[in-house]
Amino acid sequence: MRVPMDPALQRIVDARPSPGADAATPTVEEVRGNYRQEVEEFTPERTRQAADREDRELSSRDGVSIPIRIYRPATGDATRLPTVLWIHGGGWVSGNLDTTDPAARELAAAGTVVVAVDYRRAPEHPFPAAVDDCLDAMNWIFDHIGELGADRRAVGVAGDSAGGNLAAVVAQQPQWRGGPLTAQLLAYPVMDARTDVGPYPSRTRHDEQPFFNLPALALSSALYLGKGGNVEDPLASPILAPDLPDVAPAVIVSVGHDPLQDEDFDYVRRLSGAGVAVVHRDDPSLAHGVIDLMGSVPAARELFDRAIADFLDLLHRFDRD
């Protein structure tokens, strides 16, 4: 039985204009602009947590400069804190350091040093450019841990939607220059870039979802993979990774009005079956992308903050040893 949508979220959905049947497919730049405008409208500056911010760049394996934004708690001592790589969503096509600012601030205010990475986006830079940039960003964190959270035992990765996909890929890598990852936080991640329905009835059950649906996934996946990407590569579809025993403990967030709900549940089962500790938070009344709307949807902020608390509990587990 489908749970009704959260009232605050439903009001946003009802106010959205419905595109006509003959409406043109938006351009990539229009998609990016619309996403940025949506975040600014529904989570404006006044609703965001306070945090200290610093813009930097890192050099990728290809010699490309990748922008990053470092967030620290606005109050208190920002040393000996967990350090988290935050990877933004946006279907691998849209999203940037500005659209992910509310989520990164929320995580920093909870007591972490956050490094948000502005990975190269499709279609200008198809797969695996985004993967490479995120892997390079994680190695950069370990190389600079002394000036970040300063605790190699408390390093995590997190992301939402397509950023959750990339975070899962980062977490599946067997080794980092500075040691193993401590925890991962995946918010309604795209775990399977294949665009057929397959074993996921939610992809058609929620095909009318207003912020993300199966046609949007198909378009994003096609742009991301380009001509040479293999959709069955675990670097693109991390749910297809053959082995998961050494993956960091996970917090996985899923929502009810989301085509991705079933694959997120499947990944929870896969991790649990491999002996990986998993905390699963599901809110059947919310929809995909709702973290971007948390300034206007209190239930979205509550869900995200609960997941952050679970994530911090995993990151701090060494303090209890």
Task: Give the span between the Cα atoms of 179 and 248, in whole angstroms.
Answer: 12
List, for residues 179-229, the tens digit of each pLDDT value.
789 999 999 999 999 987 678 989 887 656 667 888 889 999 999 999 989
Q: Which of 258, 283, 292, 310 is catalytic?
A: 258
User: Which of 245, 303, 291 has the alpha carbon at shortest distance from 104?
Assistant: 291
Torsion over CA: 293, 132, 197, 303 (sign):
negative
Stronger pLDDT, 317 or 196, i.e. the higher one: 317
Arch. (CATH architecture) of 31-320: 3-Layer(aba) Sandwich (3.40)
In this prediction, what percent of the chain has a pLDDT beyond 90? Answer: 79
CA 102 to chain centre: 13
Q: Determine the pLDDT at residue 60.
A: 87
196, 222 Cβ separation under 8 angstroms? no
Active site residue 258: yes
Q: Which of 88, 206, 288, 292 is catalytic?
A: 288
Q: Which of 161, 237, 285, 296 is catalytic?
A: 161
Active site residue 161: yes
Assess whether pLDDT exceeds 80 at residue 21. Answer: no
SS3 251: strand
Active site residue 206: no
Q: Determine the pLDDT at residue 307.
A: 98
Residue 268: pLDDT band with limits 50, 70, 90: very high
Domain boundaries, the chain: 31-320
Stronger pLDDT, 56 or 204, i.e. the higher one: 56
Residue 79: pLDDT band with limits 50, 70, 90: low
Q: Determine the pLDDT at residue 77.
A: 65
CA 306 to chain centre: 16
